């Protein structure tokens, strides 16, 4: 019960921080996707099911607050959560470069899906221009934050792993 409360609280805090204080995170006009970082963290550490629920909760919050059509962020986050969760079982994911690479790839895929949806709804927005000027820089910035965010989340959720591992 406490683990689930911490999990939902973490998702909401990241989504609130990202959507209400984006200027605090902005670097050269680019803001990282903290919710996606948390989705990838849970995909690697706990599997695709927890990560997909994380993507749904975080995506719904982002869609609601950023005034986009419900489902834009949810779709990309859930696809990424499933893919990273399935792929992470085949990789050694303890290496920091693998984690950052996973986040980079996940952010690129998530941004690609989000851009496709926006382009279908509003074709006057440039598809490739948006990919090059928004998606790619955001993906790199999000990947750069991977070690910091994964370390914090590892410490927040480490107690449950030790308790569950020790009680079996």
* 27 bridge partner residues: 30
In this prediction, residue 103 carries a pLDDT of 95
Q: For residue 67, is it within any domain?
A: yes
Q: How far apart are CA 33 and CA 106, in angstroms?
A: 11
Total domains, the chain? 1
CATH number, position 120: 1.10.1760
Residues of the domain holding 84: 2-147
Whether the per-residue pLDDT at 168 is higher than 80: the answer is no
The token pair that represents 161 in the structure block: 């792993």
Q: Whole-model pTM above 0.85?
A: yes
In this prediction, residue 160 carries a pLDDT of 53
Asked whether the beta carbons of 55 and 25 are under 8 A apart, the reply is no
Q: For residue 159, is it within any domain?
A: no
The mean per-residue pLDDT over the stretch 20-27 comes to 79
Q: Tell me 61's DSSP state.
A: H
Whether the per-residue pLDDT at 133 is higher than 60: the answer is yes
Whether the per-residue pLDDT at 77 is higher than 90: the answer is yes
Q: For residue 115, is it within any domain?
A: yes
In this prediction, residue 48 carries a pLDDT of 92
The count of residues in the chain is 168
Q: For residue 165, is it within any domain?
A: no
Nearest residue to 31 via CA among 144, 168, 148: 144
Q: For residue 103, is it within any domain?
A: yes
What is the share, in percent, of the chain residues with pLDDT greater than 70? 94
The position carrying tokens 């070690």 is: 147
Whether the per-residue pLDDT at 167 is higher than 60: the answer is no
Asked whether the beta carbons of 69 and 52 are under 8 A apart, the reply is no
pLDDT in tens, 79-129: 999 999 999 888 877 888 889 999 999 999 999 998 888 888 888 877 888
């Amino acid at each position: 019960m406490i683990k689930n409360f911490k999990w939902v609280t973490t998702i909401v805090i990241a989504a609130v921080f990202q959507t209400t204080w984006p200027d605090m995170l902005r670097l050269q006009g680019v803001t990282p996707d903290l919710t996606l970082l948390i989705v990838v963290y849970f995909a690697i550490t706990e599997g695709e099911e927890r990560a997909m629920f994380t993507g749904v909760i975080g995506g719904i919050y982002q869609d609601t607050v950023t005034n986009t059509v419900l489902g834009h962020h949810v779709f990309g986050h859930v696809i990424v959560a499933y893919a990273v969760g399935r792929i992470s079982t085949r990789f050694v994911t303890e290496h920091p470069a693998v984690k950052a690479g996973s986040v980079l790839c996940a952010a690129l895929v998530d941004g690609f899906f989000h851009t496709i949806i926006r382009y279908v709804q509003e074709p006057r927005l440039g598809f490739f221009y948006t990919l090059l000027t928004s998606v790619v820089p955001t993906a790199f910035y999000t990947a750069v934050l991977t070690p910091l965010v994964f370390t914090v989340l590892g410490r927040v959720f480490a107690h449950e792993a030790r308790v569950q591992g020790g009680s079996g």
